[in-house]
Amino acid sequence: MTLNVGLYPWGANEYIEQHRRVIEHYWYNILDNKDIDLNWIEENEWDGGYHKNPQDYFDIFIYDTMSMNYFISQGWLSTLDRNDITYADEINPKILSSIECNNGKYYGIPIYGCFYLLFYRSDDKELADVKNFKDLLQIASKRHFVMRKPGGLLKTLHYLFSLDQNDRMNSITEKDLNMDILNRLSHFYKYSKFLLDQTDCYSFKQSSFYIGYSEDINTMLLMDDNDLSQINFMFVPFNDYERPQGWLNCIGIHSQTKLRGTYEKSLQLANLMTSSNVMNECLKQSFYLLPTNHITLSHLASNNSIYARLQTLINSHLFRPPLSLPVIINSSTSVQEQWAQAIALIIAQHQKEMQSMANTSTAAS
């Protein structure tokens, strides 16, 4: 028997290699599954569900919960009862409850969380005092910084949280868009980078601040020990009453496993991967992925000051997934996606128009 396994694809290369070694050690030697091979699905086959769908030959795969409803609708996820999750007591209970469906079922086991963060120097009082996104845009207009290129959903949030709260309570059409905010966002996005792999690295020393994810410390930002000792971070400052920008990754078991007789072993492997013993070893280097296993997070925090500060952030705000849009957006996932795509396209079009005008002006002068 062979199990086809898709890991979290956005970590550092060393993370992928170490995770595979640890899982193989426990799977083959501790659990004595020497007759059941683990075949690692490569990144060109699985990217966490951002652009690729799980294939029928997948057994287990780590995916972003933003895709959960869609994957459920397509029949790609097996349902789990709570007693199927062997290490449920090790998982942060609020995170586990956040993905429980109305029928008391689960469509995955939480393994990682992710926050969208603003990294800045500890002596930067102006950034430390930022309270909302408008303030950040104002500071960004006069600073050099680097940020991950935001997707459609984040661009939508950036726009919505730049509006006054009352404006956000009203419906939005293309003619209602605030052009002053779009101008500021266009300038803001000029500094965004794709940052898709480790060839896209930036020295923190060369920037005033950085906007990205916690794991970017290890993958995208060139930081030495001195840099790490001098950085602070906060949630990208949307208004205090808004939830932080949190994402969650789960291990899903493909529904096809029951048809081909690999479900039980797939469930055993999924549980193994979320146990604190395995997680402690997988993340013992400074990868800055945020485990949903609270035992592992405490273990990491006891040995690493950055993890300790991330743990404080998590305990004060939690992941609270899935990321939702304000009440002006219909609660239907499909409608959320349509609005996100629509506003992102409008903003992108506005950026192109502004760039075209700038190019024309430069050529004329």
DSSP letters, 287-311, are ---EESBHHHHHHHHHH-HHHHHHH
Range of the domain at 305: 2-113+247-317
- On whether both 22 and 84 belong to a single domain, the answer is yes
DSSP 8-state class, residue 331: S
CATH code of 155's domain? 3.40.190
- On whether both 66 and 51 belong to a single domain, the answer is yes
Which of 281, 297, 317 delimits the end of a domain?
Answer: 317
- On whether both 65 and 189 belong to a single domain, the answer is no
- On whether both 193 and 237 belong to a single domain, the answer is yes
Q: Which of the four pLDDT bands, split at 50, 70 and 90, describes residue 271?
A: very high
Q: What is the mean pLDDT of residues 330-355?
A: 52
* Gyration radius from the chain CA atoms: 22
Kindly report which listed range (24-33, 74-83, 106-115, 208-217) carries the lowest average pLDDT score: 208-217
H-only helix segments in the chain: 13-24, 68-73, 93-98, 125-128, 133-140, 152-160, 165-168, 179-189, 216-219, 225-230, 257-260, 263-274, 276-282, 294-303, 305-317, 333-364
CATH code of 303's domain? 3.40.190.10
pLDDT tens, residue by residue, 71-83: 888 899 999 999 9
DSSP 8-state class, residue 176: G
- On whether both 97 and 133 belong to a single domain, the answer is no
DSSP 8-state class, residue 53: P
- On whether both 262 and 145 belong to a single domain, the answer is no
Enter the pTM of the model: 0.74
More confident residue, 112 or 339: 112
Give the closest residue to 115 by CA, choosing from 329, 327, 319, 332.
319
- On whether both 13 and 150 belong to a single domain, the answer is no
pLDDT tens, residue by residue, 223-268: 777 777 788 888 777 654 444 566 788 999 999 999 999 999 999 9
- On whether both 15 and 109 belong to a single domain, the answer is yes
DSSP letters, 75-130, are T-S--B-GGG-TTGGGB-HHHHHHT--TTS-BSSEEEEEEEEEEEEETT-HHHHT-
Q: Which positions ≥6 away from 10 have C-beta within 8 Å?
A: 48, 215, 219
Collapse the DSSP code of 163 into the 3-class scheme (helix H, G, I; strand E, B; otherwise coil) and give the result. coil
pLDDT tens, residue by residue, 50-94: 778 899 999 999 998 878 888 888 899 999 999 999 999 999 888
- On whether both 81 and 58 belong to a single domain, the answer is yes
- On whether both 124 and 234 belong to a single domain, the answer is yes
- On whether both 136 and 235 belong to a single domain, the answer is yes
d(CA 106, CA 127): 40
Give how many domains the chain has, as a whole number.
2
117 has which bridge partners?
A: 212, 235
- On whether both 143 and 210 belong to a single domain, the answer is yes
